[in-house]
Structure 1
Amino acid sequence: MPSAATPRFSVIIPVYGVEGYIRECLESITSQSYPDFEIIAVDDCSQDSSGAIVDEFAARDPRVRAVHREQNGGIGAARNTGIAHARGDYLLFLDGDDSIRPGSLQAIAERLAETADPEILLFDYVRTHVDGTVEASKSGTHIASIGDQVVRPTDRLELLRIFAVVWNRVYRRDFFTTGGFTGDGFRFTDGLYEDALMVYTTMAAAQRVAGLEYVVVEYRQRRQGSSMRSSSPRKHFVIFDQYQRVFDYLEGRPGLDAYRTIVFERMVSHFLYTLARGFRIPRSHRRAYVQQAGRAYRRNEPKGFTPPPGIAGLKFKVLRTGSYAAFESLKAANGTRETAFRALGRSKRWGGRKALKTYYAVQRRLPVDENLAVYSAYWGRTPGCNPLAIHDAAKKLAPNLRGVWVVNQAHAGKLPAGISRVAPATFGYWKAMARAKYLVNNVNFPDSVVKRPGQVHLQTHHGTPLKRMGLDQQYYPAVAKSMDFDKLMERVDRWDWSVSSNQHSTEQWERVYPAPFRTLNAGYPRNDVYYRATAEDVRRIRGALGIAPGKTAILYAPTVRDHQKDAFVSRLDLARFARELGPDHVLLVRAHYFYGADRELSALAERGALIDVSRHPSVEELCLASDALITDYSSIMFDYANLDRPIVTYADDWEMYRTCRGVTFDLLSGEPGDTPGVIATTEDELIEAFRSGAWAAEPAAALRRAFRERFCMWDDGHAAERVVRAVFLGQETLTPPVTPVADRTPAPTPEAAEAATTRQEHVAG
């Protein structure tokens, strides 16, 4: 176990806006085989749930220390806060969206022991991209060049060519806090590019540096959310101040002439790299950037400096002048990569526009209709799910907002009363998509839809993810083979809002759909009905389904299998199970909507063995009508948990499903919060669960309570109102506040609904 006084490592993690990643980051450390460490996670006033996740880890692992700053200060200030709390022999800095590989701390500890505790130990890393690829770093050869030696960086200048970040090395704490040329130690500065300053000053001061040829850090290349993608271009101008601090630090110190030359070359290369990223320095700021870069070049240029050969050296020479016109001329003459990328982007956009209908293009030039919302659910099926609940709430809370639904012709005859419809690929459809202020869907609109300025895209989703979603699907061939992930990300980039019903979903959506949307931790609007339905509603729905009073209705709702999409094949002998349930029970069977009509299921329904509810328009009504749910891996379990009625998991192919589709947690662990009730992995076990009464016994109820606490966090009957107020009415604070799970009253059970009828009849009599 780790030492309470002086752990070997203090892992310092600045935490801000990383709720989709911080759990993985912390788990990568707490699961290390080497136990002698502490984690100091510094919440820099993060506006999401990152701080709460850190607190969760700290509550269950004494090695994790949660520190909450009173004011946001940026990554440098957060790291300084972590250093002030550190007790370890060595400091390891890790960003909250990155992770370390298994065995890393053991490998670092062994190398430190072999090299008699150097001031700095360098190690390798890889870049992990959103498409699943892993890119090796260029640091390996430089680390390998020093082998088993302990060296002084000023004697091995090739080490300065290693990526200048603080998370690909560990620092001995006494060196970091009291070292340097002045003995005052090192501190991180404010603003971006603080790593370069820290790396080049600490390497100049260090006398003993060793290397470890081991990949420790997995450096995540995020599509959005990185500090380097700052919305304020001027924030990137701090790069000049950071490098000036390096040269001020080196000024006048003997024996560092060669060191200064290498750092200067790295500085200019860094200036050029930053300039080439349009998302950092847009065109409107490039003139000022080039001019300031030229001044920094001339001020710090070492005597006799020779630029590198070729195009790179020519860029050095032009940048030295600080002339923006000269630099642009150089780019035009040599066709830089940036210019090529920009031209490619233009060609893609124009190619897409040519494919759009002329009518749609004309409509997009007309004003946005501030009072129009387009709704769609499940790729143009019957109105339902979260979009329908939002539509109904908007009619009351935002009556000036008109709603129109995109519904396929096949479902046009099943529209609820009061629904306005447009059919896909019609003039009305293209006009609505071009002019509507709000686009609301529980899946994605087609690729042909162009989100214009002024439009607001609300993504409601349609379930809590047990299965892997988004970019995680890249690792599962059963789904990846039919998915274009680049196109998926283009669709996700249209989202402005993402609705979530629980913290688990929020973390998953943030991670697997990396785009600059805003998360609405409001609850699922479709689940409001589970707290608003009355006893009369429950009786009415059961009567319409043909469920006789006094019968126990069991809803069986399995999910689709990605390796078996052609037709519904029940994994349960439905006829046998219905017989085993006995005459006091009725079995409701709902096949997944991906499947067409099933003859065997229809035949069983015609014989009266069960009720086929596969085409019933409302899953919510089926849940209200049932006394219990049997499902496998369907997200219906998370919604049904709101009713606080028994849930039985029938998972006869768990290993197959987990391997082919991937899962986000272990549904069959039996642990509170993971498992909603009784587990059955065979048909006989399922029958016995009902025969013995285990399905409704207290142990199952206890599991269900924990499951509700975890996955029904924000579902309290007011989710649709919160979404409408936030998105359509522009309210910054989510209102009304969420009612705690323990204080909620779900819709009455069928038994309670019948009892209420009896009481009413008795009073009336």
Structure 2
Amino acid sequence: MPRFSLIVPCFKVQGFLRECLDSVLTQSFGDFELIAVDDRSPDGCGAILDEYAARDPRVQVLHLPENVGLGRARNAGLAHATGDYLLFLDSDDTLTPGALRAVADRLAETLDPDVLVFDYARTYWWGGTRRNVLAEVLTEAGPDTFTAEEYPRVLDLLMVVWNKVYRREFVRSEGFSFPPGYYEDTPWTFPVVLSARRIAALDRICLNYRQRRQGNILSTTSRKHFDIHDQYERVFAFVAQREELWGWRPYLHRKMGEHCLDVLAKPDRLPPADRAEFFRRTAAMFRAHKPEDALVDGEVGALEGSWTGYRIRRQAARAGREAVRRAELVRGAAAARARSGWASLHAHRPLDAQLVVYSASSHRGVLGDPAAVYAKAREIAPRLRGVWVVRDAETAARLPPDVEHVIVGSRRCLEVTARAKFFVNDVNWPGTLAKRPGSVHIHTHQGTPLKYLGADLLDKPGARLGLDVPQMLRRADRWDYSLVANRHAELVWERAYPCHFTSLRTGSPRNDVLVNGGPSGAGDSGDSGGFRERYGIPAGHTVVLYAPTRRDYRRGGHVDRIDLARFAADLGEGHTLVVRLHPSLANGPARGMGLGELARRGIVVDATDEPHPADVLLATDVLVTDYSSVMFDYANLDRPIVVHADDWPAYTASRGAYVDITAEPPGHVAHSYRELAWLFASGSWRDEESAQLRAGFRARYCEFDDGRAAERVVRTLLLGEPMQEASAVRIPGQAAGRDTLTSA
């Protein structure tokens, strides 16, 4: 008996079917049967299914003699299922890599619940991907099983059949099946979820829900949408037969009204001549099933009135929204004029020579190089007043209480930025910020550049998608100083940003803590931030940090290069795998592709949200990365670095690179996962060759990082003291002398 029976009905999807089937048959977990149902499809679906069945014994094909529709096609497959669990997969959707393994592990962990709900992502025909906006419902469900009554938020999720797996014996004993019709998911999902005695949640994207250009069947204009009434009648009939479910009747009553009104509100669903009839049937059903204690308010209250009243109400609502929009535009224009006037007023006042304005990572908080400069200025130049620009009130609430701040765009922000003498940022200031004569703009950057930036992106159309390079250069024209950690960075910035600034060989201020962070060695990594203690990493463990970067050849930037669960297992006892995603991927599908679930189960540590990367770097014993610039920072710790470069040609073709990191690496290079696993299994990741490669890399790229970069910036630029030369990284054979300033 297989663990899973995957039932895949097929009708007019020949263009998508192979991708669907391949996504199942290439799963790392192979204990399943795939029951494909040819619903008398007029295209080539039947032949494709027979082809797959001929070469894979796990595929069973049912050819129906006539077209019966999605629900009955599922029933046909259900009758042949022998697996412990059922998964209904639409034939234009796909499973994500590792999905079945993740589901199987979660089922085992929760001792075979009746239903397991997993996450999904919408994939669009133009290449975009968006994670389920209610993913937090799965996260907050917790590790234990529950019922709908214990955790009613599970009903907020999209009530469809394909984001769940079902214990087959539970389905059989309850007699669940699919009715015919357009809305066949409704009388399946509500009875199943309300009846389940044990439900589990899996916070992982296991399915890609394809958003076709012309929409799905529910997006077509047809009288078939009247089917929704029959399907909810089935739901109400089911509940009426089970007294223990009667408490759900008010919820289902409102849900039915909202669902039907949602269909009515979409102009592409019903023919205009049928809209009044649809409303009246909905209203009659709403009245017929209204419980005595049902609360009727909000939009569903329209169902207690007439079709004419509903239309008037809708028209009034549209008129009201338009009036609000116009009022907001007027208020916005007036506020903009007021802010402009306020800024102009303060722009005529003298610059405040003691005022320093800071920002980092597009106003995300006290971070990076600007944070290091700010901290050092408070220490050695307390007369300077530092003010941070932050993006919103939520960000401001996370700041330490003694940090003065302003919210971007506010009148207070306009006043501060109009008066400040000094500006410190690691990205460009917005174009609305005018540079006053006499002000000093200090640009710290965000690390040593490996991939193309600035003007060098002009011949990389994929990498500059959505990026206005000329505008970027106009903003860079405001720079007075560009901080560099090595001569390579100095040359790159001056080429990529052909503007009038002075390169200052200060080192990277944020790396001071790494240079001064303490000795390396497992269990004694100089973790000043207490990272290991916060995450419960056992003393003596070798901590492996995996920090991949984004890919420009894939829309959205995320590409799974390593099976994290396998890597953690292959590292073996005495090791902890820590994962830190690129900041631009932190809130996208990347977390949902397994990282969040693996972290919950304690297989890996997810350090993506750690605000201070130095705390993570100091706590780890070896870095595994692909092409992330974090390798240049990590080299300051003089700890092993392994480069996983399995897609280097594709990466360089799409983004471009200033350095061939596979030819001049900071340590061993793995061109496949097999090579990566071998480096750790053999211990080669920390051998003498690794140390030699790292020494040469440090000599080139940690050249000016001597632990005093922040002090150098404060004394030289904010206090006007003479520039003190950075101490060299003492690598045998490196020349000691160097210039201190060059002009771009």
TM-score under structure 1 length normalisation? 0.49
- Alignment match, 2:407: 423
**Preserved CA contact (<8 Å) 2:567 2:677:** yes
CA 1:400–1:449 in structure 2 vs 1: closer, same or farther (change >3 Å)? same
Amino acid at match of 1:538: D
- Alignment match, 1:460: 444
Q: Write out per-residue CA displacement over residues 210-256 of structure 1, whole angstroms, 9 at most, x where no aligned residue.
A: xxxxxxxxxxxxxxxxxxxxxxxxxxxxxxxxxxxxxxxxxxxxxxx
1:563 lines up with 2:553 in the alignment: yes
> Match for 1:553 among 543, 557, 565?
543
1:741 lines up with 2:730 in the alignment: yes
Query: How do residues 155-304 of structure 1 correspond to structure 2 at under 5 angstroms?
Result: none
Cα RMSD of the aligned pairs, angstroms, is 1.9
Shift of 1:363: 1.6
> Match for 1:448 among 405, 408, 432?
432
- Alignment match, 1:664: 658
Would you identify which runs of 4 or more consecutive aligned residues in structure 1 move more than 6 Å?
A: 353-356
Shift of 1:484: 1.9
Amino acid at match of 2:473: M
CA 1:355–1:701 in structure 2 vs 1: closer, same or farther (change >3 Å)? farther
- Alignment match, 1:132: none
**Preserved CA contact (<8 Å) 1:437 1:455:** yes
Shift of 1:687: 0.7
**Preserved CA contact (<8 Å) 1:423 1:429:** yes
Secondary structure at the aligned position of 1:734 is classed as coil
**Preserved CA contact (<8 Å) 1:567 1:596:** no
Q: Which range moves more in the overlay, 380-389 or 493-502?
A: 380-389
Amino acid at match of 1:657: Y
Secondary structure at the aligned position of 1:675 is classed as coil
**Preserved CA contact (<8 Å) 1:605 1:611:** yes
1:615 lines up with 2:609 in the alignment: yes
- Alignment match, 2:225: none
Secondary structure at the aligned position of 1:528 is classed as helix
> Match for 1:648 among 642, 649, 655?
642
Q: Write out per-residue CA displacement over residues 463-504 of structure 1, whole angstroms, 9 at most, x where no aligned residue.
A: 111101110010101123322222112111100010000000
Q: Write out per-residue CA displacement over residues 267-313 of structure 1, whole angstroms, 9 at most, x where no aligned residue.
A: xxxxxxxxxxxxxxxxxxxxxxxxxxxxxxxxxxxxxxxxxxxxxxx
**Preserved CA contact (<8 Å) 2:553 2:651:** no
CA 1:705–1:656 in structure 2 vs 1: closer, same or farther (change >3 Å)? same
> Match for 1:525 among 505, 509, 513?
509
Quick one: distance in 2 between partners of 1:398 and 1:610?
Answer: 42
- Count of aligned pairs between the two proteins: 386
1:582 lines up with 2:572 in the alignment: yes
**Preserved CA contact (<8 Å) 1:568 1:596:** no
CA 1:489–1:355 in structure 2 vs 1: closer, same or farther (change >3 Å)? farther
Secondary structure at the aligned position of 1:716 is classed as coil
CA 1:564–1:417 in structure 2 vs 1: closer, same or farther (change >3 Å)? farther
- Alignment match, 1:506: 490
CA 1:497–1:354 in structure 2 vs 1: closer, same or farther (change >3 Å)? farther
Query: How do residues 726-737 of structure 1 correspond to structure 2 at under 5 angstroms?
Result: 726-734=716-724, 737=726
- Alignment match, 1:361: 344
Unaligned runs of 5+ residues in structure 1 are: 1-352, 744-765
Q: Write out per-residue CA displacement over residues 551-596 of structure 1, whole angstroms, 9 at most, x where no aligned residue.
A: 0100111111223353644311001100111121001000111123
1:472 lines up with 2:456 in the alignment: yes
Query: How do residues 305-344 of structure 1 correspond to structure 2 at under 5 angstroms?
Result: none
Quick one: distance in 1 between partners of 2:722 and 2:525?
Answer: 36
CA 1:536–1:567 in structure 2 vs 1: closer, same or farther (change >3 Å)? closer
1:636 lines up with 2:626 in the alignment: no
Shift of 1:707: 0.2
CA 1:480–1:536 in structure 2 vs 1: closer, same or farther (change >3 Å)? closer
- Alignment match, 1:405: 388
Quick one: distance in 2 between partners of 1:587 and 1:547?
Answer: 10
Quick one: distance in 1 between partners of 2:526 and 2:345?
Answer: 47
CA 1:702–1:459 in structure 2 vs 1: closer, same or farther (change >3 Å)? same
Shift of 1:603: 0.5
Secondary structure at the aligned position of 1:375 is classed as strand
Shift of 1:649: 0.3
Quick one: distance in 1 between partners of 2:633 and 2:596?
Answer: 27
Shift of 1:538: 1.8
Query: How do residues 16-35 of structure 1 correspond to structure 2 at under 5 angstroms?
Result: none
Quick one: distance in 2 between partners of 1:730 and 1:492?
Answer: 23
Q: Write out per-residue CA displacement over residues 81-137 of structure 1, whole angstroms, 9 at most, x where no aligned residue.
A: xxxxxxxxxxxxxxxxxxxxxxxxxxxxxxxxxxxxxxxxxxxxxxxxxxxxxxxxx
Amino acid at match of 2:397: G
**Preserved CA contact (<8 Å) 1:712 1:741:** no
Quick one: distance in 2 between partners of 1:417 and 1:698?
Answer: 48
Quick one: distance in 2 between partners of 1:390 and 1:661?
Answer: 31
- Alignment match, 1:150: none
1:483 lines up with 2:472 in the alignment: no
- Alignment match, 2:674: 684
Quick one: distance in 2 between partners of 1:605 and 1:458?
Answer: 39
**Preserved CA contact (<8 Å) 1:642 1:715:** yes
**Preserved CA contact (<8 Å) 2:360 2:366:** yes
Shift of 1:740: 3.6
Quick one: distance in 2 between partners of 1:536 and 1:519?
Answer: 33
Amino acid at match of 2:349: L
Secondary structure at the aligned position of 2:584 is classed as coil
- Alignment match, 1:715: 705
Quick one: distance in 2 between partners of 1:651 and 1:355?
Answer: 53
Shift of 1:617: 0.7
Unaligned runs of 5+ residues in structure 2 are: 1-335, 519-523, 733-744
Secondary structure at the aligned position of 1:362 is classed as helix
Shift of 1:537: 4.9
**Preserved CA contact (<8 Å) 1:708 1:741:** no
- Alignment match, 2:275: none
Secondary structure at the aligned position of 1:707 is classed as helix
Quick one: distance in 1 between partners of 2:694 and 2:545?
Answer: 17
Q: Write out per-residue CA displacement over residues 12-65 of structure 1, whole angstroms, 9 at most, x where no aligned residue.
A: xxxxxxxxxxxxxxxxxxxxxxxxxxxxxxxxxxxxxxxxxxxxxxxxxxxxxx
Amino acid at match of 2:643: T
Amino acid at match of 1:457: H
Quick one: distance in 2 between partners of 1:709 and 1:740?
Answer: 6
Q: Write out per-residue CA displacement over residues 523-564 of structure 1, whole angstroms, 9 at most, x where no aligned residue.
A: 000000012224695273321232110101001111112233
Secondary structure at the aligned position of 1:357 is classed as helix
CA 1:537–1:420 in structure 2 vs 1: closer, same or farther (change >3 Å)? farther
Shift of 1:418: 2.9
CA 1:591–1:362 in structure 2 vs 1: closer, same or farther (change >3 Å)? same
Shift of 1:510: 1.2
- Alignment match, 2:52: none
> Match for 2:359 among 347, 357, 376?
376
**Preserved CA contact (<8 Å) 1:713 1:741:** no
Q: Write out per-residue CA displacement over residues 598-639 of structure 1, whole angstroms, 9 at most, x where no aligned residue.
A: 222110101111000000011111000000001111110000
Quick one: distance in 2 between partners of 1:408 and 1:435?
Answer: 20
Shift of 1:656: 0.7
Quick one: distance in 1 between partners of 2:422 and 2:396?
Answer: 22
**Preserved CA contact (<8 Å) 1:568 1:591:** no
- Alignment match, 2:302: none
Shift of 1:427: 1.1
